[in-house]
Structure 1
Amino acid sequence: MEIRTNTSQLANFLQVCIDKKSHINGKLLHAHILRTGLFADIFLSNRLIELYHKCGRLRTARRVFDKMPHRNLFSWNAMLSAHCKTGDIEEAHKLFVKMPERNDVSWNTLISALVRGGLEQKALNIYYDMNQEGFLPTNFTLASVFSACGALFDLQYGRVSHGFANKIGLDKNIYVGNALLGMYAKCGHVEDAIKAFEDLPEVNEVSFTAIMGVLGDIDRVEEAFDMFRSMCRIGIQIDAISLSSILGVCARNGFNDLGSSVNGQQLHGLTIRLGLEKDLHLSNSLLDMYAKCGDMNSAEMIFDNLLEVSVVSWNVMIGGYGQRYQIKKAIEFMQKMQRFGFEPDEVTYINMLTACLKSGDTETAHEVFNKMASPSLSSWNALLSGYSQIGKHKEALWLFINMQFCNVKGDKTTFAIICSSCASLGLLKGGRQVHAASLKNLFDDDIYVASGLIGMYSKCSKIEVAKCIFDRIKDQDDIVCWNSMIAGLSINNLDLESFVLFKNMLENNMLPTQFSYATVLSSCAKLSSISQGRQMHAQALKDEIINDVVVGSALIDMYSKCGYVDEARLFFEKMPVRNTITWNEMIHGYAQNGHGSEGVALFEEMINQSGEKPDAVTFIAVLTACSHSGLVDYGIMIFNSMQIKHGVEPISDHYACLIDSLGRAGRFSEIEDILDTMPYSNDPILWEVLLSSCRVHLNASLAKRAADELFRMNPCNSAPYVLLANMYSFMGKWDDARNIRELMIEKQLVKGPGHSWFEHKDGS
């Protein structure tokens, strides 16, 4: 009886030590237990394990466990939990294997620890064994399993586990439901994630935070804000995490949306009202929101008032200035960061690289890259991506080659980027080598790598190879490769096949993107197929993408190229949003359909009323309109205003339009003045335009000059020979005509046959 009382008292004393994490007093009790021979008491020994674990003495806890003469299930679970909570996963697993018996706690403890430790596949294997041995998972087990499936993008196993959760009635549990929502979101199945949220019998701040992030990721911004408003309305506590999540939605929407900036300011006000402005993570989210909305003044104000600054805070500011092409400010902040004792991390360097490359400053980008002691793969990829995005594809290729010399093994992102650069350069040999390397590294099944390969082979006129790659893709549920294949067919003038593939995509329940529509509408335009174009118009209405400015611009181009310029204008007037491209398409539509005056009038409306800034393409369109309408002097005036008034440097296409306009009017002396001063004398199109005008007006001397220039640039081109010979024949200069034809025979030049295209009334 005395021993029992002593044991009970010791257990109580140990519990006090555990609660207060009193290591010294616990050691004294441990010594007393050993001295009085009570160590054999399993209950007391278990308490000692718990004490040492809570006091951060894992080795001592393990020594107690190893020396115990007798152990029960609680002893094993206590030691297992100690290893798991201190992150010693390997030892925890070894201990788990040795356990003479296990219960739900044993399985759940190990599975949760494996997921936390990033060993998701191992966690799923243990979960499978758990099911095989007949143990039912708890809500915590299933939450860990769904988290593992999300991290591994293992949708199939996630769905199986979802079914099992339904079967045992845990699908409505808040922890399981939130984890299920997260799993579907990470696997890219947004509608399933939304359904998981809607099926929850009760929701908490975790549920709302997760669903807001999901909706923000797919640009359903207003719905994300509606969720936040609902959260406020039903009285769920707004904390720093939920505010950070909705601020992230504002940040992702960026400075192209005024509404995001306004919503962000309101959320900033709410942050202050709730007294959360001192939370560092939330402050960084506010910084990020303002930076991505382009409001760097507000971002600087928050940064200057931060009670605590982290490397993340500096990185956000550097990235924000880089996004705004303010490279000097980005460099200034990086220098300040180092002066204040903060070491730049990988994100800092990547933000600086991106900032330099966006500004076109490749020299500074290289300096930043070379300062990195050991650039990570992400840094290599950032530089590769930057070069590719600004059109410096040769530099991207050299960088990729340098990666090989530095023994840096590329990943899927690397191969996707370099495929794109090979495609842009039309570099078939290099593209094949990249393809071989992707096969060797087992990356060819990745949708982005496959998409890049399809694009590369398509642009190198190897469309059959592109088709083979597309047909072999295992996961054809992703729109990326479909878009690449549709574009590839269109590039190779297989526009009917492009249209058919688009219809196949719809039959496979794929939702087309704006790029899908823009590509297939371009194919319809090239086919001059108004019936197919109208089908696409109807489909865009059905898919509720008709108001997208890219799709709308493509529709205007399609109607114009099919000769239905009035329908193009009708649609143009109904568009809720227009950009410079939209105006360009409509002006050009008028020009190519012989309605030059309307095109000029629209140009005037654009520069005087719309607020849109004309670019180089705008001037090509309006100069073409002037040429087709005989508005020569007005065209000259517009040409002269390009650089002075609008800051657009004339290129060879603008000179070609001006020469065409003057040539149609027979004003050849002015053309000769332009020819003597223009910087593009080696552009064959200019001389072809001039030769065509000379033929119409029978200007033999200038025609001879144009033809000589074309002979010099390309002796194998038959067009100037044919045009010059026909003009001589028409003028009765038979000897000159005969000389030209003999020259063609001598050079073995053959005139290509003419052809025309029309659409039959049945649509074929």
Structure 2
Amino acid sequence: MDWNLMIRKCVKQGFFTEALQIYSSMVRSGVHGSEFTFPFVLKACAKLPSLEDATKLHSHILLTGFQAHVFVQTALVDVYSKCCCFHSARLVFDQMPIKSLVSWNSIISAHCRDFHIDQSFGILKQMQLLGLELSSATFTGFLASCSLPQGLSIHGYITKLGLDLHLPLANSIMSMYIRLNQIDGALSVFYTLHQKSIVSWTIILGGYLSAGDVAKVFAVFNQMRCQCVGPDSIVFVNLISCCKLSGNLLLAMLVHSLLLKSGFDHKDPIDNLLVAMYAKCKDLVSARRVFDAVHEKSVFLWTSMISGYAQFGYPNEALHLFNMLLRTASRPNELTLATVLSACAEMGSLRMGEEIEQYILLNGLGSDLRVQTSLIHMFCKCGSIKKAQALFERIPNKDLAVWSAMINGYAVHGMGKEALNLFHKMQNEVGIKPDAIVYTSVLLACSHSGLIEDGLKYFRSMQKDFGIEPSIQHYSCLVDLLGRAGYVELALRTIQEMPVLVQARVWAPFLSACYTHHNLELGEFAAKNLFDLEPRSTGNFVLMTNLYTSMGKWKEAAKARSIINARGLVKEPGWSQIEIDGAVHVLAAEGQSHLESIDIHEVEAS
């Protein structure tokens, strides 16, 4: 039996775990490795990466006397580097009596992975002094982790050596510029290449995608097709991600059609991305069609479909799909559970949330921070603030998301003081820096608890102390805070000082405040702005009608109501839901959709 051939074949085909298993069988049968065996087995350890297996293998090498072989030593430097054990990599390299160019390249890569870029330049100078002929592989490690000034210097040196037209190295240079958000630098290299590989095109596509420039992504893709370069699966991953970013359904359908023609459908991760793409385009029917067409569904595909339902207002379907998942051989992972818990929160189904919590605990997934954060959010949304508190206190190493979930829970329950105390504790006792999301919860807490001065203080502090630019959510909370407290004139001045694009989103809460505090003049001013911005929003007309009615302005109220009828606007009926014996019942105002609606109305009438 040729053990070496079997190990080499496994490594080349990417079966790294199997290669280690074959080596173990070889050792148990009494056959020892050689200078031809060890480099391949070490490569398998590096690819996994597995420091434990690499250390055991190093012991075997020492026992069998192959530690002085240059190929084996170079492979040891590489495996320790890729397993994030820089000290061992450097120790092996320093003890090498003879170093090949590959050895030098490996130790440069090791320094770059460990962010010792300056030392890497020192090694490069040593190589030059020794008269070693530098290759494209020498610079690959630099380009993967350098800063922009270092990258420019390296690029210049590569050009001086005449290596800049070497296609793999040119691709690495372009990747460096993209990583550093320098798309123009990448393009300057791209357009000098006489021959471009599919990798070259993909790097540019990925650069524009990272910049969020959807039009440029498809412009480059069209150039690629004109050059008769056929797309591969990575190109389609970029295109689908681009459609997801834009939310353009027509574009999504065109890309999907091209994907089917090219034969790249039903391949991971493309199926997952297609489902997520259609969900982002709010076409859950097409997302489900893609999902149902896959015979062997991965947990990632299940999670994508569940997430689509949960994010876009179909929590019942999300929970139903989760129950289907539990009846298959696939097991939900932490992200699946976090997603389905958000569906429980949306529905307000405490019983279902508690059942999922039991599943989490039984399967040992309760220590994951994403799951814990989702549980806190679910308990808060389902009205069980005490359970959320108890879980929060049990979490040993809380990250910002955990703190933010609990602060938001206090905020929506009108527990402003508790929210602010927790916010202070997070900063002063734990030293966690707040972000824009947690500040939204803090402002919401101030708004719901009438803490005007606190709200204004935190709004200023957010910008002054942490450099967080206010978003639409922050401005909405601020207007709501002032409006609820009756400071409608101050709220108006605040709106007028906001950026124009933000103003459109805060007139509605301002109009609501005018209605609450019977301020007809400012209410009419807010309504005029709203009617110009959202001429088909029934809610705005209804709110203005109610304001006129509350002020005894019957003619004006009738006029506003007539506009609703003339424009054919239909008010969405109000609804409520209640959980009884684990089932969530949705009741619409004056509706007959519930199975027991006749009995319900009879009870109401009695």
TM-score range, shorter chain: 0.7 to 0.9
How far apart are the structure 2 equivalents of 1:298 and 1:566?
54
> Would you say 1:229 and 2:55 are equivalent positions?
yes
Q: Which moved more, 1:409-418 or 1:568-577?
A: 568-577
Amino acid at match of 1:743: I
Matches within 5 A, 1:463-542: 463-476=284-297, 478-542=298-362
Residue 269 (structure 1) aligned with residue 95 (structure 2)? no
Shift of the 217–684 alpha-carbon distance from structure 1 to 2, 3 Å rule, reads farther
Judge which range, 426-435 or 286-295, deviates more: 286-295
Partner of 2:490: 670
Partner of 1:65: none
Contact 1:662 1:668 in 2 (8 A): yes
Alignment TM-score, normalising by the size of structure 1: 0.68
Q: Which residue of 2 aligns with 1:186?
A: 14
Q: 1:357 aligns with which of 164, 175, 178?
A: 178
**Rounded Cα–Cα distance in structure 1 between residues aligned with 2:43 and 2:322:** 31
Instruction: Provide Cα deviations, 1:203-244, integer angstroms capped at 9, x if missing partner.
Output: 7488887677667656xx6xx222233334554555325424
Q: Is the 8 A contact 2:77 2:90 kept in 1?
A: no
**1:418, CA displacement in angstroms?**
0.6
Q: Which of residues 239, 246, 249 in structure 1 aligns to 2:79?
A: 246
Residue 466 of structure 2 is aligned to residue 646 of structure 1: yes
Deviation at 1:388, TM superposition (A): 2.4
SS in 1 for 2:164: coil
Write the letter of the residue equivalent to 1:230.
K
Asked if 1 retains the 8 angstrom alpha-carbon contact of 2:74 and 2:106, the reply is: no
**CA offsets, 1:543-600, max 9 Å, x none?**
5444333333333333332233333343334445444333322322221222222222
- Aligned residue identity for 1:740: A
Deviation per CA, 1:434-492: give whole Å up to 9, x if none.
Answer: 2222222211132223333222222233323322322333543x444333323233344
The letter for the 2-side match of 1:533 is G
Shift of the 488–676 alpha-carbon distance from structure 1 to 2, 3 Å rule, reads closer
1:691 aligns with 2:511: yes
Q: How far has the Cα of 1:385 moved from its partner?
A: 2.2
**Which has the larger displacement, 752-761 or 387-396?**
387-396
RMSD between superposed Cα atoms in Å: 3.0
2:230 alignment partner, one of 405, 409, 426 = 409
Q: Give the number of the structure whose alpha-carbon radius of gyration is greater.
A: 1
Aligned CA distance change for structure 1 residues 651 and 762 (closer, same or farther; 3 Å): closer
1:452 to 270, 273, 277: 273
| Residue type of the alignment partner of 1:360 | N
3-state SS, counterpart of residue 537 of structure 2: coil
Query: How far is 1:320 from its partner?
Result: 0.8
Q: 1:435/1:595 Cα in 2 relative to 1: closer, same or farther (>3 Å)?
A: same
> Pairwise mapping of residues 84-233 of structure 1 onto structure 2 (< 5 A)?
139-140=1-2, 174-175=3-4, 178=7, 182=11, 186=14, 199-200=25-26, 201=28, 204=33, 224-233=50-59
Cα distance in 2 between the residues matched to 1:389 and 1:505: 33
Please say if residues 358 and 390 of structure 1, whose CA atoms lie closer than 8 Å, have aligned partners that are also in contact.
no
Distance 1:359 1:618, change over 3 A: farther
User: How far, CA to CA, are the matches of 2:425 and 2:184 in structure 1?
Assistant: 42
- Does structure 2 conserve the Cα–Cα contact (< 8 Å) formed by 1:208 and 1:228? no
Which residue of 2 is the match for residue 125 of structure 1? none
Displacement of 1:744 in angstroms is 1.8
- d(CA) in 1 for partners of 2:247 and 2:555? 44
Local SS of the residue matching 1:271 = helix
Tell me how many residue pairs correspond in the alignment.
569
Distance 1:267 1:755, change over 3 A: same
| 8 Å contact from structure 1 (residues 381, 414) kept in 2 | yes
Corresponding residue for residue 317 of structure 1:
142
Q: How does 1:270-419 map to 2 (within 5 A)?
A: 270-272=92-94, 274-275=95-96, 278-306=99-127, 307=130, 308=132, 309-321=134-146, 326-419=147-240
**Aligned partners of 2:43 and 2:301: how far apart in 1?**
26
Report the identity percentage.
27
Which amino acid in the other structure matches residue 721 of structure 1?
F
Counterpart pick for 2:521 among 684, 697, 701: 701
Q: Relative to structure 2, which stretch is displaced further, 714-723 or 192-201? A: 192-201
Is the CA contact (8 Å cut-off) linking 2:205 and 2:238 kept in structure 1?
yes
- TM-score w.r.t. the length of structure 2 is 0.84
> Which has the higher relative contact order, 1 or 2, with Cα contacts under 8 A spaced 6 or more apart?
2
Change (3 A) 1:401 1:538: farther
SS at match of 2:577: coil
Asked if 2 retains the 8 angstrom alpha-carbon contact of 1:628 and 1:661, the reply is yes
Amino acid corresponding to residue 376 of structure 1 in structure 2: S
Distance 1:508 1:684, change over 3 A: same
Partner-residue secondary structure (3-state), 1:661: helix
| Residue identity matched to 2:214 | H
Question: Structure 1 residue 717: deviation in Å?
Answer: 0.3
- For the residue of structure 2 that corresponds to 1:728, the secondary structure is helix
Q: Distance in 1 between matches of 2:77 and 2:324?
A: 41
Consecutive unaligned residues of structure 2, counting only runs of 5 or more, are 585-606
Structure 1 residue 658, shift from structure 2 partner = 0.9
Give the Cα–Cα distance (whole angstroms) in 2 for the partners of residues 362 and 743 of structure 1: 51
Report the AA paired with residue 270 of structure 2.
Answer: V
What displacement does 1:507 show? 4.1
CA distance in 2, matches of 1:596, 1:211: 59
Q: Distance in 2 between matches of 1:384 and 1:737?
A: 55
**SS of alignment partner, residue 509 of structure 2:** helix
Distance 1:186 1:315, change over 3 A: closer
Q: Which residue of 1 aligns with 2:593?
A: none
Q: 1:760 to 1:204 in 2, by over 3 A?
A: farther
| 8 Å contact from structure 2 (residues 376, 406) kept in 1 | yes
**Which blocks of at least 5 consecutive residues in structure 1 are unaligned?**
1-138, 141-173, 251-259
Amino acid at match of 2:155: M
